Amino acid sequence: MNNRSLTFAATLLLIAPGAYAACSDAPSAGVDWSNCTKQQLVIRGKNLQGARFEHATLLAVNFERSDLSGVSFAAAHVSRTSFRDAVLERANLSKLTAVRSSFANARLVGADLQKAELHRCVLTGAALRGVDMSKGDFGRSVFDRADLREANFKYASLARASLREARLDGADLSQAHLYAANFEGTDLSAVKGLGQAQLDAACGDARTRLPPGLKHPAAWPCAAD
């Protein structure tokens, strides 16, 4: 074995134990599970403040009622995972991909969801005031009764998402894709950046309040599909 091979082998011996130990560490505040794969774990009610899950793959993990303040799920992949009633304040969820996962009643104030992809996820009653969700894809997700005041949806996709009775005062919907997005019973009177073409592509009903200058489309309420 030449000197170059010996050096490479020695480097692997130094790196590998630490990398293995990180994925095998118990869930706790500050744990680093970046690039790890975890599945069918129950981590309910734990203190995980400042933990790192960057580029991790999480399948059927239960984080219900856990404190995930300041964690990073940047570019992680999450499926059928529950964050119900969890605290995700100031969390980095940028470029997160989540499928059929629940954030119901979770607190996400100060979180970053830029370019996140949440497909068929449940965010009913979630606290998302002021959250940056620009350029994200939230297709078929449920935001019913969520607090989305002052949220940033610029260039985001809310195709077929449900926002029934969500709070959207001050939310920015500039260039947002709203095809079949459901705003039944929702007050849109104080949103920003909403145009008639976007509204025509969306769904609502007689209870949906609109900003000045916009009108209820004749197609409302939309037919069920």
pLDDT tens profile 138-147: 999 999 999 9
Q: What is the predicted pLDDT for the residue at 112?
A: 98
Condensed to tens digits (0 to 9), the pLDDT of residues 16-74 reads 443 444 899 999 999 999 999 999 999 999 999 999 999 999 999 999 999 999 999 99
Q: What is the predicted pLDDT for the residue at 16?
A: 42
Percentage of residues of the chain with pLDDT beyond 70: 90
Residue 155, CB-side half-sphere exposure with 13 Å CA sphere: 6
- CA distances from residue 29 to 73, 94, 111, 199 in whole angstroms, order as listed: 14, 20, 18, 44
Grade residue 15 by pLDDT with cuts at 50, 70 and 90.
Answer: very low
Grade residue 225 by pLDDT with cuts at 50, 70 and 90.
Answer: low
d(CA 25, CA 188): 46
Q: What is the predicted pLDDT for the residue at 22?
A: 87
Grade residue 13 by pLDDT with cuts at 50, 70 and 90.
Answer: very low
Give pTM, 2 decimals.
0.89
Q: What sign results for the dihedral spanned by CA atoms 6, 8, 11, 17?
A: negative
Q: Which of 219, 181, 178 is nearest to 195 (CA)?
A: 178
Those residues with Cβ within 8 angstroms of residue 198's Cβ, 6 or more apart along the chain or in another chain: 173, 176, 178
Structural domains in the chain, sorted by start: 29-122 (2.160.20.80), 139-215 (2.160.20.80)
Whether the pLDDT of residue 8 is over 60: the answer is no
Averaged pLDDT, 99-125: 98
Q: What is the predicted pLDDT for the residue at 155?
A: 98
Q: Which of 186, 184, 171, 220 is nearest to 200 (CA)?
A: 220
